[in-house]
Amino acid sequence: MSTTAPVRLPRTVLRLHRTALIVWGAFVAGLTGWLVWLNEVTVDAVRAAQARCSSTSWGCIDVIEFLDYSEPTGYVGALTCYSFLAVAAFTGGSLIGRELESGTARLAWTQGVTPARWLAAKLAVPALVLTAGGTALVLVFRWGWAANRDLMGDNWAFADVFVARGPATVAYALCALAVGALTALLLRRALPALAVSVAAMWLLNAVLERHRARLWPAETRTSPKPFELPYDVWRLEWGRTGTGHRATYHPASHFWPLHLVETGIVLAVAALATAAAFAVLRRRTA
Amino acid sequence: MTDPAIEATALGKRFGRRGAWALRDCSFRLPAGRVCAVVGPNGAGKSTLLALAAGLLAATEGSVAVLGTDPASARPRVGFVDQDKPLYPQLTVAETLRMGADLNPGRWDADTAGRVVAGGDLDPGKRIRSLSGGQRTRVALALALGKRPELLLLDEPMADLDPLARHELMGVLMGQAAGHGTTIVMSSHVVAELEDSCDHLLLIGGGRIRLAGEIDDLLAAHARVSAPAETDLAPHEVVESRTTGRQLSALVRPAGPLPGDWRTAAPSLEELVLSHLRNPEAPALAPTPAHDTTEAAA
Amino acid sequence: MTTAPTAPAGPVTTTARPDRPARAPRQLRWLLRLHRPAVLAWTAFVLVAGAALLWLGGPLTDASAAAWKDYNACAFSERCSYDQDAIVRYKDVYTYTTSAVLVAPFLVAAWAGGSLTGRELESGTARLAWTQGVTPARWLAGRLALPAVLVAASTGLLVWLHRLAWTAGEGRIDTAKPWDDAATFYANGTVPVALALAGLCLGALEGLLLRRSLAALTTAAVVLGGLWATVHTALPHLWPTVTVVSSLRNGPSGAGIAVGEGVLTSGGDRLSAPCSSGMIPGCRTELADLGATGFYRDVHPVAHYWPLQLTASAVLLVVAALLALTAFRVLRLRTAGPAGKGGPA
């Protein structure tokens, strides 16, 4: 029994949460397919409209068809970035909260699975699935977002684009998993745990988003004469001072330092929440 | 004659359009004032039958009349305790009883409800969430009794109770039946639990009625016989027979006087129930309205 | 007639039933008691969002407007100082409050599906209520009516405050959102109220159908999103548009929510425009080849704001009513209805 438990437990977790697994798979596949469609099919129509415009000598001021491409691409980025809210809801509500509320967790604990191993499996299996899906989404979005930059009006510093273009997406999902588990273990009721997990993750994201620019030293440029900044910088402050012109900004090369620092913070929160969840569980079950 | 407490006619229920029948072809008549045991193995359809009588489920076919009317109209006069004893976990015991009073204006009997809860030494300020299974059963029974039902439907009421509480609450129920003429229908898969207190039996197996009637009549209609092996038991209806060595023992429904050389004995209720459950092909027996006429005459 | 054989003669239960108690069960106070955490959380949400909107419409708007005035005044001068923080703070708080107003219907739908009906059916407490003197229909009616009043009042308050805050900044803040910005368009009108009511009925129905709180919560929120997307797509077609005709030199014009545009020919036909201005030489010849006499654009001007809002709200209210009716119908089919035609045939 105890020898087969480690093998069987992940399978049980997958079976119990089959619906969630299917939804997550459909989500990843759907967003991937959408982005491929946008960059392979929609973009041709947009280019055709663009070509019609540029055939005239004056060109067009704006090509309305651009929106058919840029808006959905933006949606894909937003959905990728904020998918961690759904993860928090799922973990707090369904993965852990409901099992504690209905007592099925105790069933597992008396079926040859220690509470710690139960929680480990409940977190490890979704963590693997989320890491795999999240990595796929990030890679696809990095490709799709970069493929037709001239049709997009956003830049790398947009809140959701910033997260969706790197490992922070996965970090937020893992953090949501840990925070959801912790709140569920503390509250032991599905619906309150769901609400609190989502609120806590939203808050964490809002705080980090607000202070994102300070996670890496920004560059400052002063000049007595007016100057232009490259188009792809994240402009923080810009204006005239008593003696001249001054701009504070993050150049595009700051994306990775900024992004990785934020990823690190989120992962640290995830680790703390996981440790706390195991501590709570140990105290509860003795 | 008063209306029967429950009268089912070819009652059937299945869940989903293609689901299996939880209950089928169920016809019986339960006179008012009885304490009726609904017995059967797990998953036999007991809970379905009680929920149909409480008007909580709609019948797929056939019909059931409760206290002379349809179940929905009878609902104000019916008390029901579900198998899981659902209660609002966030309320306290006192709040739960106050809710019962508010939901049953004009009917609520605060004394009875209070007495049932007081018997369990429950702190009224305690939340339902923190109660044990047995304590929750007590609160659920208090709610059901507090509305002064004429018919009390109890689904596995005693399962969570310790023997002492079981004895005490059974006493409360019997007092209710005797004092107010309340008809009580309680399901269980433990026959011994009901033998002393019930006078009517409904045996359900495989979604069908196997036995229905007064327990005394049902017992009187059966005999346990021992005879030499190879004995032909006809014309008596055989419920169960077993040959051990040269000995044949059987439970039969005598169609007439039994031969003198057979050793006969009266079966116990448990034997009767178990024999029927072990032999699903044995014909059902539901002593019919003949009983009611004798009752009316009595 | 005789009494039941085992009942002793005497005042049986009849004393307890003086022919039909006229008093209805008082379930509403218990509804509030059972959902006290949700009521408190919702009240806190409405108070915080409402206070933020008042702050936005008052001090924040004034500060931002003053900053814009300073900024515009010193357009090309060397020395310029203006309160950039005020402008950013206004923008942030505006975004947050608008999101809060638009998220409210989803909170209602999730709560209604998860907690109001789904949880009660999952745990069996609905059955408890139905056998405690509250008929299933009355149980559902109470669970829809009281929340509907509270939800309508509170979301109504929020959109009204949002409208006040937005109006306060109109024309004074250069980056204030225009009326036809999608989020602003919805948050300023009655659609969120109707959407919240539809969410309430939708959640209640999902809870009854799925009988599982988490599944109902998720489904209700997702389906409400779909409903909103549908209304958003259909919205421009809910009211006749105004056609703005402009000369070939200027290109299509007309502010507002554009539904379609193209060129008009002398024969009165509407064709899609090959290019956008007669000022462009190549375009001029192309337009001439088509026989175009002018550009047209079908738009909803700002005057159509309320007709569009009210029609969309009415559509949503009809949907809400249908959902509520379906919920009653499901409940009636599920449980034994009152005498006569109770169950399904």
B264 by DSSP, 3-state: which?
Answer: strand
Taking alpha carbons only, the member of A203, A205, A241 closest to residue A222 is: A241
B103 interaction partners in chain C (CB closer than 8 Å)? 25-27, 30, 129, 132-134
Residue C254: per-residue pLDDT: 79
| Overall residue count recorded for chain A in this entry | 286
The torsion angle over the Cα atoms of residues B60, B64, B65 and B69, rounded to 10 degrees, is -10
Instruction: Determine how β-strand C257-265 pairs with β-strand C270-271.
Output: antiparallel
Collect contacts of A132-137 with beta carbons under 8 A, ≥24 apart.
A133/A24, A133/A25, A133/A27, A133/A28, A134/A83, A134/A169, A134/A170, A134/A173, A135/A167, A135/A170, A136/A28, A136/A32, A137/A28, A137/A31, A137/A32, A137/A80, A137/A83, A137/A164, A137/A169
Q: DSSP assignment, residue A65?
A: T
Q: Which of C6, C132, C334 lies closest to B58 in CB terms?
A: C334
B99 interaction partners in chain C (CB closer than 8 Å)? 30, 33, 132
Query: Average pLDDT per run of 10 along chain B, which is 298 residues long?
Result: 86 85 90 91 88 90 92 90 90 91 87 88 89 90 91 90 87 88 88 80 88 90 89 86 88 87 88 88 70 40
Alpha-carbon distances, residue C125 vs B58, B160, C264 (angstroms)? 18, 18, 65
Residue C9: per-residue pLDDT: 40
Instruction: Determine how β-strand B183-188 pairs with β-strand B35-39.
Output: parallel
Taking alpha carbons only, the member of A205, A183, A35 closest to residue A97 is: A183
φ, ψ at C21 (rounded to 5°): -65, 125
Q: Do C125 and B86 touch (CB under 8 A)?
A: yes
| Domain residue ranges of chain B, discontinuous segments joined by + | 6-215, 219-284
At B105-140, the pLDDT tens digits run 888 899 999 988 988 888 899 999 899 888 999 999
User: Which chain C residue is nearest to residue A90, measuring alpha carbons?
Assistant: C214
Is the CB of residue C1 less than 8 Å away from at least one CB of chain B? yes
CB pairs under 8 A between A and C: 46
Answer for the pair C336, C293: CB distance below 8 angstroms, yes or no: no
Question: How far is Cα A211 from Cα A200, in angstroms, rounded to an integer?
Answer: 17
The structural architecture, per CATH, of the domain B6-215 is 3-Layer(aba) Sandwich (3.40)
Q: Which of C37, C133, C338 lies closest to B73 in CB terms?
A: C338
The answer, yes or no, to whether residue A28 has pLDDT greater than 90, is: yes
The answer, yes or no, to whether residue A111 has pLDDT greater than 80, is: no
Supply angle C-alpha C325, C327, C330, rounded to 5: 110
Q: Which of C79, C214, C280 lies closest to A56 in CB terms?
A: C280
Q: Do B69 and C339 touch (CB under 8 A)?
A: yes
Answer for the pair B188, B194: CB distance below 8 angstroms, yes or no: yes
Instruction: Determine how β-strand C257-265 pairs with β-strand B247-253.
Output: unpaired
Interface of C with B in 87-126 (CB under 8 A): 123-125
Question: How far is Cα B243 from Cα C227, in angstroms, rounded to an integer?
Answer: 70
Q: Do C344 and B58 touch (CB under 8 A)?
A: yes
Beta bridge partners of B238: B252
Question: How far is Cα C151 from Cα C159, in angstroms, rounded to an integer?
Answer: 12
Mean pLDDT of A177-193: 95
Name every residue whose Cβ is closer than 8 Å to that of residue C210 and which is 6 or more positions away in sequence.
Answer: C113, C118, C216, C219
Q: DSSP assignment, residue B80?
A: E
Is the CB of residue A264 less than 8 Å away from at least one CB of chain C? no
- ipTM exceeding 0.85? no
Answer for the pair C112, C31: CB distance below 8 angstroms, yes or no: no
**CA C90 to mean position of chain CA atoms:** 24
Instruction: Determine how β-strand B78-81 pairs with β-strand B151-155.
Output: parallel
At A202-259, the pLDDT tens digits run 999 999 998 999 999 999 888 888 788 888 889 888 777 777 788 899 999 999 999 9
The one-letter code for the residue type at A175 is: C
Is the CB of residue A53 less than 8 Å away from at least one CB of chain C? yes
Q: Please, what is the angle between helix C213-234 and helix C305-334, to 10°? A: 150
Residue B6: per-residue pLDDT: 94
Mutation target to probe the C interface, by most C beta carbons within 10 A, among B11, B99, B154 is: B99
Is the CB of residue C234 less than 8 Å away from at least one CB of chain B? no
Mutation target to probe the C interface, by most C beta carbons within 10 A, among B102, B137, B173 is: B102
Q: Which of B70, B107, B296 lies closest to C16 in CB terms?
A: B107
Taking alpha carbons only, the member of C205, C111, C197, C112 closest to residue C159 is: C197
pLDDT by residue for chain C (345 residues), tens only, comes to 333 444 344 333 334 444 444 567 788 889 999 999 999 999 999 999 999 999 999 999 999 988 888 888 776 665 667 777 888 889 889 999 999 999 999 999 999 999 999 999 999 999 999 998 889 999 999 999 999 999 999 999 999 999 999 999 888 888 888 898 889 999 999 999 999 999 999 999 999 999 999 999 999 999 999 999 999 999 999 999 888 888 877 777 778 888 888 888 887 788 777 776 767 667 777 777 877 888 888 889 999 999 999 999 999 999 999 999 999 999 998 887 665 443 333
Residue A119: per-residue pLDDT: 92
Answer for the pair B12, B61: CB distance below 8 angstroms, yes or no: yes
Question: How far is Cα B295 from Cα B144, in angstroms, rounded to an integer?
Answer: 29
For chain B, report the end-to-end CA distance as a whole number of angstroms.
11
Q: Which of B52, B56, B88 lies closest to C125 in CB terms?
A: B88
Beta bridge partners of B61: B12
| Domain residue ranges of chain A, discontinuous segments joined by + | 5-212+256-285
Which tokens belong to B161?
């109770």
The torsion angle over the Cα atoms of residues B76, B80, B82 and B88, rounded to 10 degrees, is 60
Residue C100: per-residue pLDDT: 94
Residue A207: per-residue pLDDT: 94
Reported in sequence order, the residue ranges of A55-106 that DSSP labels E, i.e. its strands, are none
Mean pLDDT of A108-136: 90
Residue B287: per-residue pLDDT: 63
At C246-261, the pLDDT tens digits run 887 777 777 888 888 8
